[in-house]
Amino acid sequence: MIHDKTILIVDDEPRTREGIRKTLEGWSAGRNHIRTAESGAQAVELLRKQPADLLITDVRMPEISGLSLIEAIQHFSNKPVVLIMSGHADFQYAQQAIKLGVVEYMLKPIDKEQLLQTVEKALKFSEQQRRIQTMQELVDPKLLDVKERGEQRLNSQISEALTYVDTHLGEHVTMREIADLLHLNSSYFSVLFKEQIGINFSEYLTRKRIQRAKELLVQTTMPISEIAEQVGYQTDKYFITVFKSLEGLSPSKYRHSLTVRGNK
């Protein structure tokens, strides 16, 4: 079971709402936070103040319907994964729900086993979405520009140089070494690299190393000193200095900030 997630149940029918809450609380045994709202308007306010990982909402409710609720939270930065409940097998509602990114459309009365299986599946999907979002936040904008340039076809020698950097990040890499490998004059290689990539070789190498370090900080529990070595820095002190110059905070604070955000 995935722990420390927030589930919000929205239904104007107290009996249904409380029944689902009790079922989920029994299943969760305190490992997740189960909250309820009796209307779409109340749900929007709750989600604005405290994001949820999973939203379970009825389709037909007075004032704000389930679909209107989902539309109202589309612009929220931390959107929950959504399950919809309905007492009617309405094809039009189902179509709209799919367009809004709803992961499951459940018909009432809801079977307890089906509910728990669907919630488990939805929370796993939510976890995957959070991981994808976190990885997207790690990407260096300048390296993204380089990738886009690559899609517009780079000089074959520069492409080869980029591949070499990628496969030797943990080693001592110099521009002269790569220029020699490509049988190019260092000065010419330097000019060609800047022309093709948009930044000079030294900056590119640094950004690639810090990018890889960010991935290791988030995906592993590896010590800072070991990460420094993995990305080509001989001392963790120098690595921390370079990391702070690019990211504005130390590697340990960076790791902590993303871990805290990922758990919300």
Give pLDDT tens digits for 8-59. Answer: 999 999 999 999 999 999 999 999 999 999 999 999 999 999 999 999 999 9
Question: At residue 261, does pLDDT exceed 70?
Answer: no
Q: Which residues does 8 contact at the CB level (< 8 Å), separation at least 6? A: 35, 36, 37, 43, 46, 47, 52, 54, 55, 56, 80
Q: How confident is the model at residue 151 (pLDDT cuts 50, 70, 90)?
A: low
Per-residue pLDDT, 259: 63
Residue predicted with more confidence, 151 or 123: 123
pLDDT-derived band at 130 (thresholds 50, 70, 90) equals confident
Residue-level pLDDT at 103: 86
Is 0.85 topped by the overall pTM? Answer: no
- Please compute Rg for the chain using Cα positions: 25
Question: Amino acid identity, residue 11?
Answer: D
Q: pLDDT value at position 260?
A: 56
Amino acid making up residue 220: T
